[in-house]
Copies of this chain bind each other. A is one copy, B any other.
Amino acid sequence: MGPGPVNADPRVLRAMSAQLVGQYDPSMTAYMNETMELYRGVFRTRNAATLLVDGTSRAGIEAAIVSLVEPGDRVLVPIFGRFGHLLAEIAGRAGADVHTIETEWGEVFAPERIEAAMREVRPKLLAVVHGDTSTTVAQPLDELAAICAEHGALFYTDVTASLGGNEFEMDAWGLDAATAGLQKCLGGPSGSAPISLSPAAVERIESRKSIEAGIRSAGDAVRADPIRSNYFDLGMILDYWGEKRLNHHTEATSMLYGARECARLLLDEGMDQAIDRHRVNGAAMAAGAAAMGLELFGDQAHRMHNVVGVAIPDGVDGERVRGALLEDFAIEIGTSFGPLHGRIWRIGTMGFNARRDAVLTTLAALEQVLRAEGHPVTAGAGVGAARDAYADAAGAGA
């Protein structure tokens, strides 16, 4: 019950134990094409360029940034948590001229503040995290595409922590690039990074191929400055997944099976239903924690559905509580870092764990552990409030 990675859906793990086929076997081509179509449904996009990067969610981020950004390009990164810092660092290493704005952890940006920075910086790329588990809040994205369009910037977001459990609309919100991972609301293991690119993003990537032509054909001295990575060159990866089927890496077949099953699980349930399940379970967890007298962290109007920040009460040793939950109840909740180190726990309700029994069991266990630590908790308050939250949600849905 941490902020991710979390335990995977058993259906995903079973899918990953299927035998491999050769990477140019006709059935493998069919699996890849099917996976692309499934992720169009998950990202809610018609982008042809929707595929997997073979690596963790961080690999997807780096592939997007290093492929979209040429050395010297200005990039704007609004930072409201740890993963904003990561986007800035990766863009810096890709040679970008990185500009950042920051807000306090637990808050998000008003669109006006991002717009003002866009006017000042005039970046080629706006790179912003959607939901940042380090602070448990999600940045609204729906007004930013218009600002990017006005300034001729591409618009990239990292939806690793939010996709599948929070509203996200790649096309309706006007994103040019989005990258994810399996280990949060998608119910899978880390190790595959779904990515989607708009036609404008693909065009920018394709326009860089000319400077690479020399490299691709030459076995000898190479001194041009093309995409600074072979592994993350989305132009080449697109040619591998696309109709050309040009060899690049050897697709990580077991991870592809897993990613495919993650998308099937979400689409079988329905994206709206899956997001609503995360909303309801997250709300129940938050209500239960609050009813135990715990203070919720951050801007609750922008709280992610799949993780809640809970202030560690004065006099309570946060790490002892986490240790007791793990040892006595086999339940993991998250610590925190950076400015929140030692101040909050982060409790997740995502993927396979966005379930009523998981939420109520966690609240019941937390009550026992807090009492054992000498912190007063009204017996049954947390579970009772969560039950009420489920009843309210069922009533609202009926």
Contact = CB atoms under 8 A, between A and B. Distances in A.
Interface in A1-36: 2, 4-8, 10, 13-14, 16-23, 25
A332 B19 CA distance: 14
Interface string A216-236: 100111111011111110000
Contacts of A95: 228
A63 B88 CA distance: 20
Instruction: Give the number of times this chain occurs in the complex, counting copies.
Output: 2
Given A54-B190, A66-B229, 15 more contacts: A4-B250, A6-B22, A13-B254, A54-B191, A58-B231, A59-B59, A79-B219, A86-B230, A91-B222, A92-B221, A183-B250, A189-B252, A229-B229, A254-B255, A255-B255
A248 B90 CA distance: 12
Interface stretch (A96-104, A150-158, A370-378): A96-104
A368 interface: no
A89 interface: yes
A70 interface: no
Given A17-B14, A229-B93, A231-B55, A102 B219 contact: yes
B62 A25 contact: no
Interface string A289-324: 000000000000000000000000000000000000
Contacts of A25: 326, 332
B93 A254 contact: no
B230 A90 contact: yes
Interface residue SS majority, chain A: loop
A250 B5 CA distance: 7
Interface string A53-75: 01111110010001000000000
A101 to B, nearest CB: 9
Contact of A17 (B13, B250, B253): B13
A164 interface: no
Interface string A109-127: 0000000000000000000
Contacts of A99: 220-221
Contacts of A224: 92
- Scoring A4, A100, A231 by chain B CB atoms within 10 A of each residue's CB, the highest score goes to A231
A245 interface: no
Contacts of A66: 229
A97 B221 contact: yes
B102 A56 contact: no
B13 A18 contact: yes
B17 A2 contact: no
A46 interface: no
A12 B66 CA distance: 33
B227 A93 contact: yes
A183 to B, nearest CB: 6
A382 to B, nearest CB: 22
A228 B100 contact: no
A181 interface: yes
A340 interface: no
28 contacts: A5-B22, A5-B253, A7-B21, A10-B19, A14-B17, A17-B17, A20-B189, A25-B326, A25-B332, A54-B190, A55-B59, A55-B231, A55-B252, A56-B252, A58-B231, A62-B230, A79-B219, A88-B219, A92-B222, A93-B228, A93-B230, A95-B228, A97-B221, A98-B220, A100-B221, A181-B250, A191-B252, A255-B255
Interface string A148-184: 0000000000000000000000000000000001010
Contacts of A326: 25
Contacts of A85: 219
Given A20-B8, A92-B215, A219-B88, A56 B189 contact: no
